Amino acid sequence: MASSPDLSSADNTPENPGSGSSPEASAASGSAVGGERRGRVRLRRAAVMAVPATVVAAGLAILTAQGALGVQFAISGMPFTVTATELNGTGFEQFGGLDNMADGSPNAGDTGGQVLVVTSAIKNATLTKLCQSVDLGGTNLLITAGSGEQKVIASDLTTDSTELSGDAAFNNIEIGNDASTLNKANAKGPIGVFSQQADTVHIGNLRQTNYATTAGVFKLPGLRLRFSDSGC
């Protein structure tokens, strides 16, 4: 960081040696003016390389990533829960990524406005008894669909998740791909990032904590939106 040009020469005294006078001194002062925050952000970027190897290999995901369809948006920073009794999909991909909140978001806390996520993508998916809820503090915004004979249908479905669970099965899975070379769905991750992909995916008793979802087409038969004392 460069020092301010408004500092007077009186500050450069033996009692105040070189105050703001050199790039080295300014860099050393970084910890006092945000260096700690920048350090945390660098660690998160580095962690992207490791997340899929641990969380993704567990492989209990669906949906996925900001940017997968060329859509870029700042996340609110409020997580939401998604559940389904069953998900079936063709064209599955998964890798690590970072989501960013809008500048000055009150939800940023000490994260620097970034959330480390597992990014998943499904070319075509069907979901049974879909439920989505957002905790608004004292009440939940609850959305349900696909509880009848018709299932929820989605194409180019993507989500960014921090927690995933369920009973998963993959067909023709590939583990350890470079995320920039994925070709099963309309998503690619950063070069050099660990990823996996499969021809098909089945997940029973799906449960996710998500920060973002996108879809090319999203059909929600029997859609119902309401406020509720409990979430999904």
pLDDT digits 0-9 by tens, 140-150: 999 999 999 99
pLDDT digits 0-9 by tens, 25-77: 444 444 444 555 555 555 555 445 444 433 433 333 333 333 333 346 899 99
pLDDT digits 0-9 by tens, 79-99: 999 999 999 999 999 999 999
* Burial of 76 from C-beta contacts in 10 A (0-12 / 13-18 / 19+): middle
Are residues 195 and 182 in contact, defined by beta-carbon separation less than 8 angstroms? yes
Euclidean distance between CA atoms 68 and 189, whole angstroms: 8
| Terminal Cα distance for the chain, rounded | 47
Comparing CA positions, the residue from 181, 211, 210 lying closest to residue 193 is 181
What average pLDDT is seen over the chain?
80
C-beta neighbour count of 84 within 10 angstroms? 26
Burial 192-224 (b: 16+ CB within 10 A, else e): ebbbbbbebbbbeebbbebbbbbbeebebeeee
- pLDDT value for 67: 37
pLDDT digits 0-9 by tens, 195-215: 999 999 999 999 999 999 999
